[in-house]
Amino acid sequence: MTQPTSPTGGSPTSPSSAATGAGSAPTGAGGGSPAVFPGGPALFRLDPAVAHLNHGSFGAVPIPVQEAQAALRDEAHADPDAFFVGAPDRIAAARARIAAHLGADPDGIAFVSNATEGANLALAAIPLADGDEVLVTDHGYGTVTAAAARRATVTTAALDPYLPDEDAVREAVLAAVTPRTKAALLDHVSSPTARPIATPRLLAELSDRGITTVVDGAHAPGMLADPLAVGADFYFGNLHKWGYAPSGTAVLAVAPAHRGRVRALVPSWEDAHGFPRSVENRATADYTGWLAAPEGLDLLARLDAAKVRAHNSALAAHGAALLAELPQLTPLPWGEGIAMRSLRLPPGLAETPEAARVLRERMAAEHGIRILVWPWAGGGGIRVCGQLYNRPEEYERLAAVLPGFLSGA
Ligand SMILES: Cc1ncc(COP(=O)(O)O)c(C=O)c1O
């Protein structure tokens, strides 16, 4: 196995409950290719000409879930009155099914449209005075960090992408706490660097200092075995990424002490019910994604969630090991069981959002390969994902074209 190490001699970030209970079965370029998941690719209607190595950005909806949503849309079109009058109760029932999968209190989670909405709802529910600060990291997702910046002064913990392990990450975050830090907004699994940040120990240490914790679990439901066990005051996570749900489906989980302060972003007929119903009602909207969402997690359970997780993380590890053989790329420390891996590009490449966008779109247009290219000063990075529909040869294709592509960038 080609084991990625950091230039600072780092190793994989140590496993924690933040990083799954499933564990990965890393395979490297020398360790043989993981087998295709039986029946996996046929579950999706993806363009076969494209290597979809970027599940982490927008997910992909399996056919049974697409069909469940289509049936709900047919129902709504057949009798709109009946559909909308019955929607709040059906949403509550769908929420209870999601809560059962996530090990959550059904009254403690609400459907929201996406992680970004979850961030705004959570931050709006935290009492903050003038001068209070929200701590974020420079690995945070742009729209989520923007939600914090709208709410308060933001202080940013700078995390070197090569920090070797969970302890180093925790120390770097805690070092950025100031006497005015009232809330911390941290990724469960970061988008660019695909590493666990909000570990149970870090969250507990922040809570001990009186800091309200908000966790961005955009990648966690479906990918990590017990995401909410991390123990946050507020936790939001997308179902439309690794939970196989239709786009526009996410959840916000709120600890009991904070539920009374969560206020829907717009008023609705359900306001009197408080959290979670008030948050979920947004008048005449398309609720079919939420109603079909449990089908995604049901499918994952039927396929054997632990097996799917191990498969996906092994595929991502396989891809990263192949890419690590290219001298232009430096693998980053990874989190055990995470189905995404990141590697750093050389200085001069993808240093700005625009440069990263151009590289990403050229890779898609010229080679039919979809990956995330993320910007970073001093050299951006690429991220590859593993999912049921991926085949080892797709990563081989990427590794084959990347050197020429980068030298011609
Ligand atoms: C860590 C993280 N947070 C938030 C988001 C935003 O998710 P959404 O577009 O569903 O709001 C993403 C999207 O990729 C993400 O990776």
**Can you tell me the distance from the alpha carbon of 357 to that of 111, in angstroms, rounded to the nearest whole number?**
31
Between β-strands 109-112 and 250-254, what pairing exists: parallel, antiparallel or unpaired? antiparallel
* Ligand 1 atom closest to residue 240's alpha carbon, by position in its atom list: 10
- The CATH number that applies at residue 135 is 3.40.640.10
Q: Which of 195, 219, 238 has the most ligand 1 atoms within 8 A of CB, as the residue to mutate?
A: 238
* Residue nearest atom 14 in ligand 1 by C-alpha distance: 57
Per-residue pLDDT of the chain (409 residues), as tens digits, is 223 333 333 344 533 333 332 233 334 444 578 899 999 999 999 999 999 999 999 999 999 999 999 999 999 999 999 999 999 999 999 999 999 999 999 999 999 999 999 999 999 999 999 999 999 999 999 999 999 999 999 999 999 999 999 999 999 999 999 999 999 999 999 999 999 999 999 999 999 999 999 999 999 999 999 999 999 999 999 999 999 999 999 999 999 999 999 999 999 999 999 999 999 999 999 999 999 999 999 999 999 999 999 999 999 999 999 999 999 999 999 999 999 999 999 999 999 999 999 999 999 999 999 999 999 999 999 999 999 999 999 999 999 999 987 876 5
Q: How far is CA 193 from CA 224, 357, 370, 377, in A?
A: 16, 17, 17, 14
141 C-beta closer than 6 A to ligand 1? yes
Tell me, yes or no, whether 277 and 399 share the same domain. Answer: no
User: Are 110 and 273 in contact, with CB atoms under 8 Å apart?
Assistant: no
- Between the CA of 85 and the centroid of ligand 1 the distance, in Å, is 31
Tell me, yes or no, whether 232 and 356 share the same domain. Answer: no
What is the domain extent for residue 389?
A: 17-62+304-407
User: Are 28 and 2 in contact, with CB atoms under 8 Å apart?
Assistant: yes
* Ligand 1 atom closest to residue 113's alpha carbon, by position in its atom list: 10
* Ligand 1 atom closest to residue 56's alpha carbon, by position in its atom list: 14
Final residue of a structural domain among 268, 300, 332: 300
Phi first, then psi, for residue 233 (nearest 5°) are: -70, -45
Tell me, yes or no, whether 379 and 270 share the same domain. Answer: no
Tell me, yes or no, whether 37 and 73 share the same domain. Answer: no
What integer pLDDT is reported at residue 408 of this predicted model? Answer: 60
Where would I find the beta strands (DSSP E) of 39-180? 51-52, 109-112, 133-137, 153-157
Tokens encoding 218? 């955009």
The CB density around residue 392, as the number of other CB atoms within 10 Å, is: 19
Tokens encoding 279? 């948050």
The 3-state DSSP class for residue 78 equals helix
- Between the CA of 249 and the centroid of ligand 1 the distance, in Å, is 12
* Ligand 1 atom closest to residue 187's alpha carbon, by position in its atom list: 1
Tell me, yes or no, whether 83 and 225 share the same domain. Answer: yes
In a domain, 137, yes or no: yes
187 C-beta closer than 6 A to ligand 1? yes
- Between the CA of 339 and the centroid of ligand 1 the distance, in Å, is 16
**Spacing of C-alpha 398 from chain mean position:** 23
* Ligand 1 atom closest to residue 57's alpha carbon, by position in its atom list: 14
Tell me, yes or no, whether 204 and 255 share the same domain. Answer: yes
The 3-state DSSP class for residue 97 equals helix
- The CATH number that applies at residue 310 is 3.90.1150.10
Which amino acid, 200? Answer: P
- Between the CA of 372 and the centroid of ligand 1 the distance, in Å, is 13
In a domain, 364, yes or no: yes
**Can you tell me the distance from the alpha carbon of 91 to that of 88, in angstroms, rounded to the nearest whole number?**
5
Tell me, yes or no, whether 27 and 112 share the same domain. Answer: no
What integer pLDDT is reported at residue 57 of this predicted model? Answer: 98
User: Are 363 and 400 in contact, with CB atoms under 8 Å apart?
Assistant: no
191 C-beta closer than 6 A to ligand 1? yes
